[in-house]
Amino acid sequence: MYRLVRSTRLASTTRYFSHVANTFESKYAHKLNHKARQAGQSLADLKAKAKAEEQTDENANGSHKKQHLLQHRLHPNLLILLLLRILLLLMSVKTAPPVKPLSSLLNIPLILSPQSPTTPAQLSALWTAYHASRSGGTGRGYVCASVPVGLYENMIGTARKYGSFIVPVPRLGGEGGKEEAYEFYFLQWAFHGSPPIPSATPSDPFVASPLPIGVNPNADGTPLPPTSTVLFTPLQEYKLRASFATPFLALTFYPDLARSHGNVLLRGEITASPGGGGAAVEGKGDEGGRFMLTQNDAQLLVMELQKFYLWESGKSTSTAERLLKTFHERPEEFKWEELLEHAKLTA
């Protein structure tokens, strides 16, 4: 029904405009003929010329519209090309390493210089002095140590089997802070491969290494130990946010100079408080509220790490070793009360 009505309307409209055209031509026929005679042409010639000019204008307008549409059709292609260029640019930018390299903290070529070589004792003192100079000379926000390479290798041997654990930190509780209370921290190890071979000569960034990535043998053919990190996060925070939880303390073990000096350098960074200038949370955070942990708490966590991951070989199983194994191998038998009792005895 709709098509029939629409066709009827189109036919009526066509007849109307045809009638108007015929009426216009008959009304002004005398003037049109006079105009044609002046041009030396017949009325039919003028009509043909007018139609030809009209057709030319339509063709020109149509071509312009097609070109305009074509330009708009090219826009998606241009967008794709732009996105590809952005993607290539992002691929060309090297991602930041998960661990700040030791070379960004110490002058490795100078330490290894044959003209004035640094002894292990001097390296340890230099490492301590460097971190003591942080935070305006107060050393706040950092802990550091030099770990003998043998002890470090024993620790990471245990950490590869048992990469996580919980450790207690004493807190003030009850009225007047007289009752004993503890806050549990979840610790988690991560390994980042062996570092590049240190050299007394600064490396040339335009010369490719002759060895594949991850292969870093020493002069005697033994590889360097891997770089590792340990994150300490409040257990309650970790339960709520899991991998998105903010660690309060991040430890990094640098084995770069393990073969040359026999030590692995430990660096601990305490997370800054949001805003940096607010009051410290009661029971944790430094006195000025600038960091999420006090220096004492950070040092205590480092000692807890050593206690549970540095097993003494050749001796009977210690309580710390048994607790760590139970936590992973028989979690249903793990008792946090026993963990607290062990913390009191070894405090």
* Token pair belonging to 217: 């043998």
| pLDDT-based confidence at residue 276 (cuts at 50, 70, 90) | low
The confidence score (pLDDT) of residue 146 equals 97
End-to-end CA distance of the chain: 95
The confidence score (pLDDT) of residue 168 equals 95
List C-alpha distances in Å: 173 to 107, 170, 177, 183, 337.
Answer: 46, 9, 5, 10, 17
The DSSP code sequence of 236-270 is HHHHHHGGGSPPSEEEEEE-TTHHHHSEEEEEEEE
pTM: 0.67
Task: Please tell me which residue, 47 or 233, carries the higher pLDDT value.
Answer: 233
The confidence score (pLDDT) of residue 290 equals 86
Is residue 151 within 8 Å of 310, Cβ to Cβ?
yes
For the cut 60, the answer to whether the pLDDT of residue 186 exceeds it is yes
- Measure the CA–CA gap between 79 and 72, rounded to whole angstroms: 11
| pLDDT-based confidence at residue 278 (cuts at 50, 70, 90) | very low
Give the pLDDT confidence of 63-100 residue by residue, as tens digits.
655 555 455 554 566 667 777 777 776 665 555 567 89
Beta-carbon contacts of 332 under 8 Å, excluding residues fewer than 6 positions away, are none
Looking only at the bridges linking them, the beta strands covering 249-254 and 228-234 are antiparallel
Give the pLDDT confidence of 34-59 residue by residue, as tens digits.
666 666 666 666 667 766 666 666 55
Phi, psi for 140 (deg, rounded to 5): -65, 145
| pLDDT-based confidence at residue 29 (cuts at 50, 70, 90) | low
The confidence score (pLDDT) of residue 185 equals 98
